[in-house]
């Protein structure tokens, strides 16, 4: 670049003037071939020390058609630029006098103190690279190159890399780039305040599972189409994955402004739509973080909105929540819990409790369910708290491996004591069933403990069957089935699993959720569901297991309904391993009659 600028200054100077740089004494001076400057595709302008135009080549007029008229010999740099701005040559200068003046001042400064090349947009969509060079005698050389093609290719590549292929919205990268561009240090009603809104669709998993993934995809596309119509230029609408979307709104800085947008968003997005033969009405859960008060850095703001969404979803469907520091404190606790749990798993501090399962008819012992326990935590943490954390934070696989090992060890120890523990049930999480190695791993563990697969049952919940990867899960379950391991569907009757799921997946037992068992004698809808589940199980050739049996009346009622197995505090609360051995050696639990 230096050499080229030197050559140009040689051309601009009278030929008998000083030698161009790079041409030293003792070497022949190289003359500029005639017509070279005229043929160059780059525009070149030269100004003297008083900023008067001394040279311009023809490429200038074709690159800057709106400014050509002003670029006459002797014209002042400032005048040429001012003319360009007035003619709308530079869209970045805007149309208002104050923005134009600011742009002009900035350009003049860049000319007077030349720095690295700048990329500048032109009217009509073109781009130029502008670079200035100041000679030792105060002369100013300006080079302008057309970089439109390169910019277009870059824009295309960026659009491609930052686009969600399904909906055509931006993706996570696009959102984070825009979050990174938010101006810092602004407050309140400033037009540069902004608001980040994350939302997802309630029950999307069920829509996907019941109507098929093509319908789920069509729903996402429609959500994107509806939402787009609400946005103004500069706002960002992105799909972050699954059914999670983000909207970054500029100029919305107060909760009231955000609420008014949420109202409009709901009106538009929550209109019913037809998906195949079904009509569904989308429902949104939203989390909101305000810029800059809830986070100035891109990831802090995003985390704030994520926290708020998490909070909204905890409160049920169709809710919204603003970022709140107390939620952040709760998440900090969760992070600590995760850390402690990871350490507890590594130190093998997780133990099991064994809860008996009995034949409803006569109270005969059939087996145990193994339930994870974390006894050594500073404050006892119940599984209802640490299991979801383990699932969310990627600890469920090592935790379950430990639970399975402890369960099989317990079975083995009962066998050695000459007791008959029956079958052992362990709970498995969706993530385990997504691993194709899981059946092999379980088979190896059974072999290692000398136990036949028939002694093991795995319990999975209804939501597992609704997973997007249900096809893979059904394969894994079939392997277990073929191996002889039985499969129970846990907490049944409160989720969304349909009859189709029960016939598609190899399931042997339905465990009626304890919330249904609790009101089984009341005659209300819960008891009706419980009765229906028992009928459904038998109709499909499956066994019905009632969880959470706490009263003799419940047990009695279940027996009359023909429920096969009972589990709960009445038949037996969860024991530690020694307690379970004592329970077995004490013999059968007496039936209630
Ligand atoms: P679950 O599999 O439905 O387990 C039954 C839960 O009901 C256990 O709670 C048990 O203590 C409780 N329970 C038993 N009888 C009664 C009763 O009569 N009344 C009432 N109100 N509750 C009763 P726990 O041990 O707190 O476990 C909660 C859940 O945590 C389990 O529900 C299961 O979903 C999950 N979980 C526990 N251990 C594991 C594990 O090793 N792996 C996985 N993935 N999940 C586990
Ligand atoms: Mg269970
Ligand atoms: Mg259960």
pLDDT of residue 312: 92
Q: Which of 353, 381, 383 to mutate to test the pocket of ligand 1 (most atoms within 8 A of CB)?
A: 383
According to the model, what pLDDT value does residue 190 have? 53
What's the CA dihedral at 238, 243, 249, 253 to 10 degrees?
Answer: -150
For the stretch 532-541, contacts whose Cβ atoms lie closer than 8 Å and that sit 24 or more positions apart, written own/partner, are 533/492, 533/493, 534/561, 534/562, 534/563, 536/499, 536/502, 536/510, 537/509, 537/510, 537/564, 538/562, 540/502, 540/503
- CA 515 to ligand 3 centroid distance, Å: 10
Residues with CB under 6 A from ligand 1: 355, 371-372, 382-384, 387, 400, 403, 427-429, 459, 490-491, 514, 547-550, 568-569, 574
Nearest CA, atom 14, ligand 1: 568
Query: Which residues are paired to 442 by β-bridges?
Result: none
- The architecture in CATH of the region 334-584 reads Alpha-Beta Barrel (3.20)
Q: Whose CA is nearest to atom 45 of ligand 1?
A: 427
Name the helix (H) or strand (E) containing 18.
none
Give the domain ranges of the chain. Answer: 8-151, 162-323, 334-584
Cα of 407 vs centre of ligand 2, distance in Å, is: 14
Instruction: Answer yes or no: same fold for 8-151 and 162-323.
Output: no
* β-pairing verdict for 127-134 and 118-121: antiparallel
* Distance separating alpha carbons of residues 207 and 177, to the nearest angstrom: 32
Q: What pLDDT shows up at residue 71?
A: 94
Positions of the chain with pLDDT under 50: 1-24, 185-189, 588-593
**Could you tell me if 544 and 533 are in contact, meaning their C-beta atoms sit under 8 angstroms apart?**
yes
Model pLDDT, residue 234:
85
Mutate to test the pocket of ligand 1, among 349, 354, 371 (most ligand atoms within 8 A of CB): 371
What is the C-alpha separation between 567 and 504, in angstroms, rounded?
A: 27
Residue 28, pLDDT score: 62
Ranges of H-type helices in 64-200: 77-86, 97-112, 148-161, 172-180
Tell how far the Cα of 442 is from the centroid of ligand 2, in angstroms: 18
Could you tell me the distance, in angstroms and rounded to a whole number, from the CA of residue 377 to the centre of ligand 2?
A: 22
Residue nearest to atom 25 of ligand 1 (CA): 371
587 CB-contact burial (10 Å; exposed 0-12 / middle 13-18 / buried 19+): exposed
Distance of CA 295 to the CA centre of its chain: 18
Q: What is the pLDDT of residue 187?
A: 44
> CA-based angle 484:488:489, to the nearest 5?
145
What pLDDT is attached to residue 133? Answer: 93
Identify the residue whose C-alpha is closest to ligand 1 atom 33: 427
Helices (H), 449-567: 462-465, 470-483, 499-504, 514-518, 525-539, 552-561
What is residue 493's predicted lDDT score, i.e. its pLDDT?
83
Best residue among 406, 430, 547 to mutate for probing ligand 1, ranked by most atoms within 8 Å of CB: 547
**CA pair distance 298, 171, nearest whole angstrom:** 15
> Which run of H or E residues covers position 55?
strand 53-56
CB atoms within 10 A of CB 542: 20
Q: Which ligand sits closest to the CA of 406?
A: 1
Q: Whose CA is nearest to atom 17 of ligand 1?
A: 548
Ligand 3 mean position, distance from CA 387 (Å): 13
Residue nearest to atom 20 of ligand 1 (CA): 548
Which one, of 82, 88, 126, 87, lies nearest residue 107 by Cα?
A: 82
Reported CATH class of domain 8-151: alpha beta
Residue 256: both structure tokens together: 């009231």
Give the number of the ligand closest to the Cα of residue 355.
1
| Helix and strand numbers, DSSP H then E, in the chain | 23, 20
Distance in Å, CA 295 to ligand 2 centroid: 40
Note the ligand closest to the C-alpha atom of 511: 3
Query: Which of the ligands is closest to the CA of residue 350?
Result: 1
Cα Rg of the chain, angstroms: 36
Contact 169, 223 (CB under 8 A): no
Which pLDDT score is estimated for 38? 86
Polymer length of the chain:
593
Quote the pLDDT of residue 156.
87
Ligand 1 pocket mutation pick from 353, 387, 431, 509 by most atoms within 8 angstroms of CB: 387
**pLDDT for position 233:** 83
Question: What single string gives the DSSP state of each residue in 314-360?
Answer: HT-SS-EEE--HHHHHHHHHHHHHHHHHHHHHHTT--EEEEEEEEET
Counting from 1 in the atom list of ligand 1, the atom nearest the Cα of 372 is: 38
**Measured in angstroms, how far is the CA atom of residue 459 from the centroid of ligand 2?**
6
CA of 526 to the centre of ligand 3 (A): 16
| Element containing residue 273 per DSSP (H, E) | strand 273-275
Question: Residue 116 and residue 529: Cα distance in Å, rounded?
Answer: 74
Q: What pairing do the DSSP bridges indicate for beta strands 543-546 and 565-566?
A: parallel
- This prediction's pTM: 0.58
- How many other β-carbons are positioned within 10 Å of the β-carbon of residue 235? 18
User: What are the φ and ψ backbone dihedral angles of 234, each rounded to 5 degrees?
Assistant: 95, -25
Rounded Cα–Cα distance for residues 183 and 292 (Å): 9
Per-residue DSSP letter, 29: P
Check residue 25 and give its pLDDT: 52
Position 525 scores a pLDDT of 79
Place of tokens 């996402």: 220
Please say whether the structural domain 162-323 has been given the CATH code 3.30.70.270. Answer: yes
Task: Give the Å distance between the CA of 367 and the centre of ligand 1.
Answer: 15
**Ligand nearest, relative to CA of residue 429:** 1
């Amino acid at each position: 670049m230096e050499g080229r600028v030197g050559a140009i200054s040689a051309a601009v100077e009278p030929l008998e003037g000083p030698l161009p740089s790079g041409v030293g004494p003792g070497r022949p001076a190289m003359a500029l071939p005639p017509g070279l400057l005229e043929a160059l595709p780059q525009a070149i302008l030269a100004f003297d020390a008083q900023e008067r135009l001394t040279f311009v080549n023809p490429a200038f007029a074709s690159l800057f058609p709106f400014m050509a008229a002003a670029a006459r010999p002797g014209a002042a740099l400032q005048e040429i630029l001012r003319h360009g701005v007035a003619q709308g040559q530079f869209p970045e200068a805007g149309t208002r006098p104050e923005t134009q003046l600011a742009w002009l001042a900035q350009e003049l400064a860049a000319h007077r103190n030349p720095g690295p090349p700048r990329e500048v947009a032109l009217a009509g969509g073109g781009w130029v690279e502008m670079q200035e060079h100041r000679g030792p005698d105060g002369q100013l050389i300006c080079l302008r190159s057309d970089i439109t093609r390169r910019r277009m290719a870059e824009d295309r590549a960026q659009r491609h890399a930052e686009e969600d292929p399904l909906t055509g919205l931006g993706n996570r990268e696009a959102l984070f780039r825009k979050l990174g561009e938010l101006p810092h240090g602004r407050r309140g009603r400033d037009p540069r305040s902004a608001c980040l809104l994350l939302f997802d669709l309630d029950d999307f998993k069920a829509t996907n599972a019941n109507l098929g993934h093509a319908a789920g995809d069509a729903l996402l596309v429609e959500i994107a189409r509806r939402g787009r119509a609400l946005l103004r230029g500069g706002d960002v609408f992105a799909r972050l994955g699954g059914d999670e979307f983000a909207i970054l709104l500029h100029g919305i800085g107060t909760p009231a402004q955000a609420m008014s947008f949420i109202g409009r968003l709901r009106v538009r997005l929550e209109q019913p739509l037809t998906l195949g033969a079904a009509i569904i009405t989308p429902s949104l859960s939203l989390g909101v973080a305000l810029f800059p008060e809830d986070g100035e850095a891109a990831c802090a703001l995003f985390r704030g909105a994520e926290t708020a969404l998490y909070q909204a979803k905890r409160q049920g469907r169709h809710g919204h929540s603003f970022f709140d520091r107390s939620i952040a404190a709760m998440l900090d606790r969760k992070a600590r819990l995760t850390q402690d749990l990871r350490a507890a798993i590594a130190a093998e501090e997780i133990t099991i409790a064994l809860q008996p399962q009995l034949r409803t008819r006569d109270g005969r012992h059939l087996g145990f369910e193994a339930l994870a326990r974390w006894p050594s935590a500073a404050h006892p943490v119940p599984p209802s708290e640490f299991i979801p954390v383990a699932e969310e934070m990627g600890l469920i696989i090592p935790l379950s491996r430990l639970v399975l090992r402890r369960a099989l060890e317990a079975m083995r120890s009962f066998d050695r004591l000459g007791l008959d523990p029956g079958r052992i049930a362990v709970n498995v999480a969706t993530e385990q069933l997504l691993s194709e190695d899981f059946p092999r791993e379980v088979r190896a563990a059974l072999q290692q403990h000398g136990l036949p697969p028939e002694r093991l049952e795995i319990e999975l919940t209804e939501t597992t069957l609704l997973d997007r990867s249900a096809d893979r899960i059904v394969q894994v379950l079939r392997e277990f089935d073929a191996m002889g391991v039985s499969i129970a569907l846990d907490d049944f009757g409160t989720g969304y699993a349909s009859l189709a799921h029960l016939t598609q997946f190899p399931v042997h037992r339905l465990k009626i959720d304890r919330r249904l068992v609790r009101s089984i004698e009341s005659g209300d809808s819960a008891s009706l569901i419980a009765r229906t589940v028992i009928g459904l199980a038998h109709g499909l050739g499956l066994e019905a297991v009632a969880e959470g049996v706490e009263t003799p009346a419940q047990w009695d009622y279940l027996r009359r309904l023909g429920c096969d197995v009972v589990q709960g505090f009445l038949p037996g609360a969860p024991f530690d391993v020694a307690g379970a051995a004592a329970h077995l050696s004490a013999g059968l639990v007496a039936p209630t009659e």
